[in-house]
Chains A and B, each alone.
Chain A
Amino acid sequence: MKKFWFSNRLLIAIGLMFLISLLSASMIFGFVIEQDRTPPEKLLFDENNQLIAIAPFPPSVQYPLGSDIDGNSFFLKIIDGAKYTIGLSLIIAFGRVILSFLGGYLLFLMPSQFNKRINNLSDAFHYTPTTILTYVLIAPVVLTFSWSYDLTTKIIYPVIILILVSAPVLSMYVRNELNLIYKKDYVITSKLMGANHFHLYRKHVSPFLKPKLLLMFVQQVGQALIIFAHLGLLNIFIGGTETRLMDIDIETGEPIYRHFSMSNEWSGLISQNFEYAIPFPWMILAPVTAFALAILAVNSIAYGLKGPFEHYQSKTKTTTMKETVSPVTKDKFQMIKKISS
């Protein structure tokens, strides 16, 4: 039993440590390193002043994840961007959990026939990839009609959409969990003994629901990160897209716009560098790897919380009863009826 706790806690600890150190490094970066940074070098010389490389530099000791076109180290960019990406995914996951808890509770109060129909309605989400749905709802504000919305809308609106999009499915999930808990024997007993709604919830339901919601929160952080990575590939990045006129096509005369991230937010890094994927693969691999590592950390926390070993352990656990042998002696017995002699 001890070992099982150890391994699950270890997973949670590793994941948390990774995320916390990444976030704190990112925060510190914003305050300390950013200020006294020299403009990046586009050319790299060796000790004899011989030119050895032109930006973008491939991964090396000086540039652990390579550098971008201007010679900025990707490692530093990713550290800098971590606070935006992870922070936003935490906000989104939190919003999703709160909303789906409220929605789930509301659905739970509704009759079951109604819920069946709601379930059928939300089945449409099984045929709609979330990425496409969020893209269609966010792109008009951030990309297609970007001229007519102000910066506040461009930042807050996508977050709200990302929260709302998953609400139906998650609410159904919470509702099912609530249904399972309220059907337990001790809840029914408590109800029969006259417990009111609030008491039931506080004493019997929330202890079971809280770990589920915590797990859901962690899983949703992972989901939000995946959506960010996908949206980055679709040219959307949360936290503001800046569209700049880059060039004009000589043949057709069409203006070529490129979208820039205003921060070093990871999905922005993906979308800015996607066109360099083939000539300079590290430029896209760096932010994607950052996503992969963050998602891995989040998932290991979720895996640890879920406790997959529990099932396995309880199956093989053999309970050994210690046999206590106490010698039986004559004075342990007593005659009920004392025979008077």
Chain B
Amino acid sequence: MDGFTKRETFLHFLLTSISILLIGSLPYLLFNMKAQVEVLKMIHMKTLDNTLFLYDTIVFNFQEYTLHIYQTIKLLFTGGDAEYYYRGVYRPIFPELWELFLKSMTYMILGLFFGLLLALVMTFLVMYFSRKYRALPKIILFFLESLPDIFIILIIQISIIWTYKKTGLLVFDITSTADGDPVVVPIFILSLLPAIYMNKLLLLAFEEEESRQYVEFAFSKGFSKSYILIIHILRNSILTFFNHFRSIFTFLLANLLMLEIIFNINGFMTFVYKHSVLNPEILTISLFMVFIPFFLIFTIVQWTIHRSFPSGRSTL
């Protein structure tokens, strides 16, 4: 149980933060960032056209690395006036990144919510089959799970365009325009992709519970299958399921990036993608923006789950 004490949680938070700092400044370790950015600025200002004479190798710049980590820490604590370089001009990071963050997180949380619902419905449907007949739905799930996310996103996008071409009916917006961002399809995709993954995890947990004795006992007492599924199995599977929740989260973040690129949404992940090469501190800042709220949520959920499962089948 000691993984859930306050000291342990604090250490966890601290170490993960350190690791984020270490990751975020890595470009300064491996490249001569300052020199390279200078060259890029010269190219943007058109004082340099010929780059053939320039040559550089991968380096290990520990001094620059530690210096940049120190600067990033200072930036994080002073906040506010951080700037990023893009095509010859410096712009302030902050109101912009914050708005994009809220937009993308709305997509993500709605997607996660509907995805969870979808996964639960699918799992219940599969569980209503008897064990013998579960092979076919499982094979379909395996197939869907194996397809890469960009394949599924592109297929959905192209099929919407195709129906538009055939019938002249644009069912949903599929790309960002001046009117705004598409809403329905991205949320649908962001719920579909993790739903397949969550469904797999839930199904594993459900089947594990199903073979336990108390379930057999409940059946023998004559409770209906729906009652047992909802009251007994679902409650006991939540713990196992939650242990995998972080990987679902990582999965969803990767999906979000691909979705924003394919649907041309100007979101949080695309901002990180576009600017963090030249400004590695954007990577660090955005990682913290994702890490802090979700770490809090995870910790709170973990504590409440542990309070409601005091018997401690928590060694999973």
Chain A residues whose CB sits within 8 angstroms of the CB of B26 once the complex forms: 136-137
User: In the complex the two chains form, what is the Cα distance from A121 to B247 in whole Å?
Assistant: 16
Chain B residues whose CB sits within 8 angstroms of the CB of A121 once the complex forms: 15-16, 18-19
A136 touches B283 (CB 8 A): yes
Within 8 A of A (CB), among B26-80: 26-27, 30-31, 33, 36, 39-40, 51-52, 54-58
Q: Which of B96-104, B179-187, B229-237, B257-265 contacts A (4 or more CB under 8 A)?
A: B257-265
Min Cβ gap B135→A in Å is 9
A129 touches B250 (CB 8 A): yes
Assuming the contacts A135-B273, A139-B277, A144-B277, asked whether A295 and B16 have C-beta atoms less than 8 A apart, the reply is: no
- B1 on the A face (CB < 8 A): no
- A186 on the B face (CB < 8 A): no
A-side interface residues, number (CB < 8 Å): 55
- A234 on the B face (CB < 8 A): yes
- B123 on the A face (CB < 8 A): no
Min Cβ gap A249→B in Å is 12
Within 8 A of B (CB), among A292-332: 292, 295-296, 299-300, 303, 308, 312, 315-316
Chain B residues whose CB sits within 8 angstroms of the CB of A285 once the complex forms: 154-155, 158
The residue of chain B having its C-beta at the shortest distance from the C-beta of A133 within the complex is: B23
Chain A residues whose CB sits within 8 angstroms of the CB of B54 once the complex forms: 147-148
Partner of A149, one of B57, B154, B249, B257: B57
Assuming the contacts A124-B287, A234-B261, asked whether A299 and B146 have C-beta atoms less than 8 A apart, the reply is: yes
- B91 on the A face (CB < 8 A): no
User: In the complex the two chains form, what is the Cα distance from A124 to B284 in whole Å?
Assistant: 11
B58 touches A128 (CB 8 A): no
B254 touches A127 (CB 8 A): no
- B118 on the A face (CB < 8 A): no
User: In the complex the two chains form, what is the Cα distance from A285 to B260 in whole Å?
Assistant: 18
The contact string, 1 if C-beta is below 8 Å from chain A, for chain B 133-151, is 0000010001101111111
Partner of B39, one of A127, A145, A284, A296: A145
Within 8 A of B (CB), among A268-291: 270, 277-278, 281, 284-285, 288-289, 291
A289 touches B151 (CB 8 A): yes
B261 touches A233 (CB 8 A): yes
State the majority secondary structure of interface residues on B.
Answer: helix
Chain B residues whose CB sits within 8 angstroms of the CB of A137 once the complex forms: 26-27, 30
Assuming the contacts A139-B277, A153-B58, A303-B142, asked whether A117 and B15 have C-beta atoms less than 8 A apart, the reply is: yes
- A77 on the B face (CB < 8 A): no
Min Cβ gap B182→A in Å is 14
A127 touches B150 (CB 8 A): no
B-side interface residues, number (CB < 8 Å): 63
B12 touches A120 (CB 8 A): yes
Chain A residues whose CB sits within 8 angstroms of the CB of B57 once the complex forms: 149, 153
User: In the complex the two chains form, what is the Cα distance from A88 to B58 in whole Å?
Assistant: 21
- A115 on the B face (CB < 8 A): no
A145 touches B31 (CB 8 A): yes
B150 touches A229 (CB 8 A): yes
User: In the complex the two chains form, what is the Cα distance from A179 to B171 in whole Å?
Assistant: 54
Chain A residues whose CB sits within 8 angstroms of the CB of B15 once the complex forms: 117, 120-121, 123
Partner of B154, one of A140, A226, A284: A284
- B316 on the A face (CB < 8 A): no
User: In the complex the two chains form, what is the Cα distance from A123 to B138 in whole Å?
Assistant: 31
The residue of chain A having its C-beta at the shortest distance from the C-beta of B288 within the complex is: A127
Within 8 A of B (CB), among A90-133: 117, 120-133
User: In the complex the two chains form, what is the Cα distance from A122 to B54 in whole Å?
Assistant: 37
Min Cβ gap B230→A in Å is 23
The residue of chain A having its C-beta at the shortest distance from the C-beta of B26 within the complex is: A137
Assuming the contacts A133-B23, A136-B283, asked whether A230 and B55 have C-beta atoms less than 8 A apart, the reply is: no
User: In the complex the two chains form, what is the Cα distance from A225 to B290 in whole Å?
Assistant: 26
Chain A residues whose CB sits within 8 angstroms of the CB of B280 once the complex forms: 136
Min Cβ gap A267→B in Å is 11
Chain B residues whose CB sits within 8 angstroms of the CB of A270 once the complex forms: 150
Min Cβ gap B130→A in Å is 11
User: In the complex the two chains form, what is the Cα distance from A137 to B261 in whole Å?
Assistant: 19
A-B contact pairs, 17 of them (CB 8 A): A117-B15, A120-B19, A123-B246, A124-B23, A127-B250, A132-B283, A135-B273, A135-B277, A136-B26, A136-B27, A148-B56, A157-B58, A225-B148, A234-B261, A285-B155, A292-B146, A292-B151
Known: A157-B58, A270-B150, A299-B145; 12 extra A-B contacts, CB below 8 A, are A123-B246, A128-B20, A129-B253, A131-B257, A132-B273, A135-B277, A144-B40, A145-B36, A230-B258, A284-B154, A288-B148, A291-B151
10 closest Cβ contacts across the A-B interface?
A148-B56, A147-B51, A124-B19, A120-B15, A299-B146, A129-B254, A292-B151, A121-B19, A145-B36, A129-B253
Query: A residues within 8 Å of B by Cβ?
Result: 117, 120-133, 135-137, 139-141, 143-145, 147-150, 153, 157, 225-226, 229-230, 233-234, 270, 277-278, 281, 284-285, 288-289, 291-292, 295-296, 299-300, 303, 308, 312, 315-316
